[in-house]
């Protein structure tokens, strides 16, 4: 889903994160990954990036 859409022209504006995700999906599909495999990769990536990193130096 686009971040915003121009109601007059129908042009869709996407956030940088959406573009990065689309490029990642396209790359995985080009490499032969199935949709289920792409979903698993994206899910694993989002899980690993949402984990808190230990704080360094206090």
- Locate 5 and state its tokens: 């859409």
Summarised one tens digit per residue, pLDDT across range 24-46 is 999 999 999 999 999 999 999 77
CA–CA separation, 33 and 25 (whole Å): 9
CA–CA separation, 49 and 46 (whole Å): 5
When pLDDT is cut at 50, 70 and 90, the band that residue 51 belongs to is low
Whole-number pLDDT of residue 34: 97
The pLDDT mean for the chain works out to: 84
DSSP 3: S
> Could you tell me which residue, 57 or 44, shows the higher pLDDT?
44
Please give the model's pTM, rounded to 2 decimal places.
Answer: 0.64
* Cβ-proximal residues to 41 (8 Å cutoff; 6+ apart), any chain: 24, 28, 33
């Amino acid at each position: 889903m686009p971040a915003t859409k121009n109601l007059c022209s129908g042009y869709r504006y996407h956030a940088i994160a959406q573009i990065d995700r689309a490029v990642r999906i396209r790359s995985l599909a080009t490499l032969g990954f199935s949709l289920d495999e792409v979903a698993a990769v994206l899910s694993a990536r989002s899980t690993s990036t949402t984990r808190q990193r230990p704080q360094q130096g206090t």
